[in-house]
Amino acid sequence: MIDAVIFDLDGLLLDTEQVWDEVRETLTRERGGRWHDGAQADMMGMSSLEWSRYMHDELGLADPPEELNGLVVKRMQERYREGLPVIDGAVEAVHRIAARWRLGLASSSNRELIDIALELMDVGDLFAATVSSEEVERGKPAPDVYLEAARRLGVRPEQCVAIEDSANGIRSAKAAAMRVIAIPNRHFPPAGDDQAEADLVLDSPAELSVDAVESASSRRER
C-alpha cells in the first residue's frame, strides 16, 4: 500500500540542471577557478553546503563556501524570475498524483529556490511536505532528504514511491527503502545501470499516472 508520493524537483519538474551548470560554470570562470567537464555530474544531488564547498576546494574559488552559495542562489533566482523552465507535462502530472496521494518533495535545491519554483508553478499547496537537502546532514545519494520527507509526511519510507530523474536521486530514494519511478532527464540521463535500479522507467512526466505509481509499488524489492 502506498501512503505518499515524493517528487524530486530539478531535472524532473524543472529543466534546470543545465541552468545550474551554466550559473556555476560562469561564476567559476569569473572568479578564476578551474572548471572541468565532470564538475556538473560531481555536484548533481549535493546539498548547497556540499557543492559550495566543492567549488571552493575542488574548483579553486577563493571565496568562502557560504558566499559562493549566496551568489549562485541569487543568480538562480534571477533566472527563475526571467522564465521558469518547467518541463512539459510536469504540472499536470503533479495534479494527477495529488488527486490520489499526499505529496512530498525531496530536493537538492536551496529552500529559497524550492519555494519560488513551487510558487511560480502554482503547485505549492499540493505538497504536504517539502525538504531541501540543506536541511539534512547529507545530500543525495545519501537517503537523508527522502527519509526526512517521509518523516514530515508522517509515513513509513517503505510506503512511499519516489519520482526521480538522476542517478544520485535514484540511489538516494532506494537507500531510503522507497519504490522509485525514474523519468530520465534528457540533458543528464542516468546510466543504464542506475536506471535499472528503478522499479519503473518512464519517458516523460506525461506518462506519470496513478496506474504507473501503483505498478511501481507492486514491484518486489531488488
pLDDT tens digits, residue range 54-84?
Answer: 999 999 999 999 999 999 999 999 999 999 9
Q: CA 159 → CA 50, 56, 134, 148, distances in Å?
A: 29, 39, 24, 14
Residue 221 has a pLDDT of 45
* DSSP bridge partners of 215: none
Residue 10 has a pLDDT of 94
pLDDT average, residue stretch 187-214: 93
CATH 3.40.50.1000 domain locations along the chain? 4-15+85-217
DSSP-derived pairing of the beta strands 160-164 and 179-182: parallel
Query: Domain 17-82 is in which class?
Result: mainly alpha
Q: Which residue from 143, 219, 130 is spatially nearest to 179, judged by alpha carbons?
A: 219
As given in the structure block, the three cell numbers for residue 41 are 555530474
Instruction: Rounding to the nearest 10 degrees, give the CA dihedral for residues 170, 171, 177, 180.
Output: 10
Grid cell 514530515 in the structure block, residue? 152
User: Residues near 151 by Cβ (< 8 Å), separated by ≥ 6?
Assistant: none
User: Residues near 173 by Cβ (< 8 Å), separated by ≥ 6?
Assistant: 6, 106, 143, 146, 162, 164, 180
CATH 1.10.150 domain locations along the chain? 17-82
Q: Higher pLDDT residue, 44 or 87?
A: 87
Give the separation between CA 136 and CA 98, rounded to whole angstroms.
25
Task: Give the ranges where the chain is alpha helix by DSSP (H).
Answer: 17-30, 39-43, 48-57, 65-82, 90-98, 111-121, 144-153, 167-175, 192-196, 210-217
At residue 147, φ and ψ (nearest 5 deg) are -65, -40
| The domain made up of 4-15+85-217 is a member of CATH 3.40.50.1000 | yes
As given in the structure block, the three cell numbers for residue 22 are 551554466
Which of 43-52, 126-135, 173-182, 210-219 has the least mean pLDDT? 43-52
Contact assessment for residue 26 and residue 82, using Cβ atoms and an 8 Å cutoff:
no
User: Does residue 37 sit in helix, strand or coil?
Assistant: coil
The catalytic site residues sit at 8, 10
